Structure 1
């Protein structure tokens, strides 16, 4: 991208952001991919239904991931620590730190997620939508983890915490 394109600000209207529907009323709003921001960042807005899972345990090698909770309450796995956060709370996860998140039991959640530097990830979110619609298997995510810098790990603590969430 030329330097002249970098002098233009990106504006994404709320109604023009691509929506990717997930299961049970959860959805992504795709705000900016790396190619939209000269590689600086990627951003999305995630709405989760009551007690819904967000992302299972994973880490990123290239980017830090920041979460600003716009509404509701969320559970996070940060390394080996579980924590609950609420509206107005802010979390930054550095590269290589395993993390996971979902709406807290009995709560919906809305969160702004920003990754920096940016990695092209809109394709990943669209893939998640196909998984939610049954068009792809959950196992198909393993084949794209390198491309989207989403490296899955297991966590007994997260599994135990999420099985106790009532939906």
Structure 2
């Protein structure tokens, strides 16, 4: 059975020269590919590059979406249902709604992944603000009103590895 797509969804091509990169300390960056606006909410997509040992996020879940990670390079460490799992280049991780997860680059080198959120949630402003916080330009409390609006629900404190 085919899934019906809304009439406003159209094919989308995103070229590398047209994307926004949000710099992070140590050479990391968010690469903002699709914010779900041009796909009528079907998906959101980004890449994340992290320096060796850097956390991507602390434990959280999404109530509305499935998140899919494909490791492009290096080794990522994922916390999935309380277990730490290393996933190397070419590995795929699928996190259904409600599943608590966290991720970061392994200590032995930088890592990069492609992330897909489906259905999509408009989150580019969320990533931009995370970049400001990581660079010391804003405090963590500046995110207080953003988490729920972007379907990010933290579970526990920042320490997870």
Normalised TM-score (structure 2): 0.91
CA distance in 2, matches of 1:90, 1:105: 20
Greater share of residues in helix: 1
Tell me if the contact between 2:59 and 2:100 (Cα under 8 Å) persists in the aligned partners.
yes
SS of the equivalent of 1:58 reads: strand
Cα distance per residue 1:24-55 (max 9 Å; x no partner): 21101100011121110000011111111111
CA distance in 2, matches of 1:57, 1:140: 19
Unaligned segments of structure 2, at least 5 residues: 1-5
Question: Aligned match of 1:93 in 88, 95, 103?
Answer: 95
| Deviation for aligned residue 1:160 | 5.4
Aligned to 1:22: 24
Moved over 3 A (4+): none
Cα distance per residue 1:70-105 (max 9 Å; x no partner): 110011101211100000000000111110000001
Aligned to 2:3: none
Aligned to 1:148: 150
Aligned to 2:159: 159
Aligned to 1:52: 54
SS of the equivalent of 1:144 reads: coil
1:109 aligns with 2:111: yes
CA distance in 2, matches of 1:131, 1:159: 17
Unaligned segments of structure 1, at least 5 residues: 162-167
- The number of residue pairs the alignment matches comes to 156
Normalised TM-score (structure 1): 0.88
Aligned to 2:12: 10
